Structure 1
Amino acid sequence: MPPKHETRPAPAPNAGALAGPSPATAVRMLLGVIIGLTAVVVVMLCAFALPSVKGGPNHVPLGLAGPQPATQALQKGLDADAWDVKLYPDPQALQAAIKQRDISGGLALGAGGITVYTASAGGQQASAAITALGSGMAARQQSKATVSDVVPFPADDPRGAGFTASGLPLIFGGIMPAIVLLRLFPGHANLRRRLTGAILFALVAGASVAAVLQYGFGSLHGDYWLTALGLSLGMAALSIPFLGLESLLGFAGLGAGAAVMMLIGNPLSGMAGPHWLPTGWATLGQLLPPGASGSLVRAISFFDGTGAGAPALTLGLWALAGLLLSLIADRRTTRRPHPEALAPAAA
């Protein structure tokens, strides 16, 4: 007769698991969730409301040219927290400093009135504040103010609406490819495919967005291919870190990274000008990929590359950090023993 197999009763369910956490643990978990979500809401409020509530000239580099007694007297009368004043010998030197991005704009004092020099492409809000400052001074002196835009936006988009509106699409250009690639190529074995896909998408999408902004909307001018590479670097600096966070921490890492870029990086990006936020917040915004991307494209498209080094380095470091996160996750997964290797020992 064939041997009879012994039938063992199924193990009883874990009563502790069915009962849930203890009352003390449940209270701690609930308090942790409440405090964590409250912190998120407060950070969102600060990030989105700060530009409106605390927005204003914050150490805006301002140039003054004209008779030395008049410029020195004006320098002493200006708010030191709002303006960082530099003196220039003549209006030509002042205009050259604007083009080199040493200052955001300036005032030239003369017998016929005040000439206001701005660079709207360098920041619309700072340009408007400099214009208001010069017009107010001219009104008090009962003279006239003449405004000259040294570095304007293109004639097809004189207010820079297309450039300013490009910040949020750039962030989505980093988030969406990471999500799609993770769905199409899941698992540790597809890490290289995901990274390759993110880089190729950034190149294609950057060229496409640059073409629409420059040739479709007329919002940008300058070297098209350099602008396209700048946009591509900005998207890669978002999507590669997102992939690295997901590889190392799972979907929670991807969600946390996307939330930081959307809720903090976007409102602090300074697309309308980096000198309109308090100094610390403005610096934080420029250290995140959205702000660095905007600064890089601004420098390439409107200032012949002047000032492009720092944002390009920032974006490159973000992309490198994402790659390192992916490599760390890859090595950790490689060292982990596979179930097939554990099967003989278990037997």
Structure 2
Amino acid sequence: MEGTVNSSLAKRAVGVTLGAVVLQLLMIVAFSWPAARTAPNDVPIVTAGPQAAAAAARLDRQLPGAFEASAVADEAAARKALADREAYGAIVATPAGPRVLVASAASPAVAQQLTQLGAQLAGAPAGGAVQDVVAADPDDPRGAGFGALALPLIMSSLAAAVLLTFAIPRLGARAAALVAFSALGGLAVAWLAQGWLSVLPGSYAAVAGVMALAILAVSGTVTGLAAVLGRPGIGLGALTLLLLGNPLSAAASAPELLPQPWGELGQLLPPGAAATLLRSVAFFDGAGAGGALTVLLVWAGAGLLLLGIGGLRGRGGDAAVAPEREPALAS
């Protein structure tokens, strides 16, 4: 009997070791591959004037498929397109030559690329023919601080979901603690981002609301999956939101800079939707927020629904996360 137990433990150790190696490789690929393959893919821009259309055609010859240009009436319409988050940049014809408009608040990475292209089009030094219509926060001009918010926000929300699942056996109390954590976390993170870090402008209440909804979407999903599936639900939620959600969030770049269709997929997950919604409320007065807001509401609602289903099935408490026990050895 002892030999059988030792053999079983040895097989389990081998299986766990191999699984850990595979997980490590998957995480490295998930986090490194999008960054290594970052490049513009049909980035929406607008043009104003016949000369600007010719400049856009020149861009398409130089970088096929990088930009998707559409024509607007004049410079005012181009500026409105940027302010409404319909485009990342614009090429405007002027008597002195083409001028490029950018919105670095939408994506500093795209704005930097368009700035370099604008200098080439105008034959001027970098930045000489470019105007930033909707600028990023002056304390975070390259968006590094904003992009760095995503990972700790996700990881802390996942950790909270695990803590709530194991520490609070009663489903009703767990749901109440989840909502309270999301609300307080949103207020605290918004204060940190706007006050101490100074990486987000805009209304504190609006930013805090987005943060709270993002936390609820992540924590609620994992807590709900744990209530229905038990421990496997925690792993499933963590892998989906951390392994896929964070590297595909485009928080430090833009969805159009990721390999497709991964950039589009990232916007359907809470981290990507949260990054888009935060940019909209902080820099663009809510323009372009509808889709991202819907995604977060669906995920948050699904998490709460799963909590309810777990309660109805009687798996919302200790049964879902009860520690496994080794079978007793025969004497």
Do they fold alike, i.e. is TM over 0.5? yes
Give the distance between the partners of 2:109 and 2:125, measured in 1 at CA: 25
2:103 counterpart of 1:119: yes
* Match in the other structure for 1:136: 120
* Match in the other structure for 1:323: 304
Give the distance between the partners of 2:126 and 2:265, measured in 1 at CA: 41
* Match in the other structure for 2:82: 98
Give the distance between the partners of 1:144 and 1:298, measured in 2 at CA: 23
Give the distance between the partners of 1:143 and 1:320, measured in 2 at CA: 47
Give the distance between the partners of 1:157 and 1:142, measured in 2 at CA: 23
Using the TM superposition, give the Cα deviation of residue 307 of structure 1 relative to its aligned residue in structure 2, in angstroms: 1.2
2:265 counterpart of 1:281: no
Give the distance between the partners of 1:293 and 1:252, measured in 2 at CA: 25
* Match in the other structure for 1:269: 249
Contact 1:66 1:109 in 2 (8 A): yes
2:92 counterpart of 1:108: yes
* Match in the other structure for 1:146: 129
Contact 1:116 1:147 in 2 (8 A): yes
State the identity %.
37
Match of 1:60 among 31, 38, 43: 43
TM-superposition CA deviations, 1:42-77 (whole Å, max 9, x none): 532332122232111111001222335735743653
Contact 1:248 1:328 in 2 (8 A): yes
Using the TM superposition, give the Cα deviation of residue 37 of structure 1 relative to its aligned residue in structure 2, in angstroms: 5.5
* Match in the other structure for 1:10: none
Report the 3-state secondary structure (helix = DSSP H, G, I; strand = E; otherwise coil) of the residue aligned with 1:61: strand
Unaligned runs of 5+ in 1: 1-13, 339-347
Give the distance between the partners of 2:225 and 2:95, measured in 1 at CA: 61
Using the TM superposition, give the Cα deviation of residue 195 of structure 1 relative to its aligned residue in structure 2, in angstroms: 1.1
TM alignment of 1:227-246, pairs within 5 A: 227-246=207-226
CA, structure 1 residues 73+161, in 2 after alignment: closer, same or farther (shift >3 Å)? closer
Match of 1:191 among 153, 158, 171: 171
TM-score, normalized by length of structure 2? 0.84
CA, structure 1 residues 327+79, in 2 after alignment: closer, same or farther (shift >3 Å)? same
Cα RMSD of the aligned pairs, angstroms, is: 3.0
* Match in the other structure for 1:49: 32
2:197 counterpart of 1:217: yes
Give the distance between the partners of 2:29 and 2:92, measured in 1 at CA: 38
Using the TM superposition, give the Cα deviation of residue 31 of structure 1 relative to its aligned residue in structure 2, in angstroms: 9.6
Mean Cα displacement is larger for which, 150-159 or 295-304?
A: 150-159
Contact 2:55 2:121 in 1 (8 A): no
CA, structure 1 residues 144+199, in 2 after alignment: closer, same or farther (shift >3 Å)? closer
* Match in the other structure for 1:305: 286
Report the 3-state secondary structure (helix = DSSP H, G, I; strand = E; otherwise coil) of the residue aligned with 1:333: coil
Report the 3-state secondary structure (helix = DSSP H, G, I; strand = E; otherwise coil) of the residue aligned with 1:218: coil
Contact 1:71 1:87 in 2 (8 A): no
Match of 2:181 among 201, 219, 232: 201
Unaligned runs of 5+ in 2: 320-331
Mean Cα displacement is larger for which, 129-138 or 300-309?
A: 129-138
2:229 counterpart of 1:249: yes
User: 1:265 is aligned with what amino acid?
Assistant: G
CA, structure 1 residues 228+221, in 2 after alignment: closer, same or farther (shift >3 Å)? same
Report the 3-state secondary structure (helix = DSSP H, G, I; strand = E; otherwise coil) of the residue aligned with 1:107: strand
2:155 counterpart of 1:177: no
Match of 1:155 among 138, 154, 165: 138
Give the distance between the partners of 1:31 and 1:179, measured in 2 at CA: 26
TM-superposition CA deviations, 1:286-325 (whole Å, max 9, x none): 1111111111111111111011111111111111221222
Report the 3-state secondary structure (helix = DSSP H, G, I; strand = E; otherwise coil) of the residue aligned with 1:116: strand
| Corresponding residue pairs, total | 315
Give the distance between the partners of 1:227 and 1:72, measured in 2 at CA: 36
Contact 1:88 1:94 in 2 (8 A): yes
Contact 2:99 2:122 in 1 (8 A): no
Give the distance between the partners of 2:101 and 2:295, measured in 1 at CA: 30
Give the distance between the partners of 2:6 and 2:85, measured in 1 at CA: 65
CA, structure 1 residues 311+18, in 2 after alignment: closer, same or farther (shift >3 Å)? same
CA, structure 1 residues 324+20, in 2 after alignment: closer, same or farther (shift >3 Å)? farther
User: 1:110 is aligned with what amino acid?
Assistant: T
User: 1:98 is aligned with what amino acid?
Assistant: L
Give the distance between the partners of 2:191 and 2:245, measured in 1 at CA: 25
Give the distance between the partners of 1:206 and 1:176, measured in 2 at CA: 15
Contact 1:222 1:301 in 2 (8 A): yes
CA, structure 1 residues 160+18, in 2 after alignment: closer, same or farther (shift >3 Å)? closer
Using the TM superposition, give the Cα deviation of residue 137 of structure 1 relative to its aligned residue in structure 2, in angstroms: 2.1
Report the 3-state secondary structure (helix = DSSP H, G, I; strand = E; otherwise coil) of the residue aligned with 1:278: coil
Contact 1:75 1:85 in 2 (8 A): no
TM-score, normalized by length of structure 1? 0.81
TM alignment of 1:72-87, pairs within 5 A: 73-74=57-58, 77=61, 79-87=63-71
Using the TM superposition, give the Cα deviation of residue 162 of structure 1 relative to its aligned residue in structure 2, in angstroms: 2.6
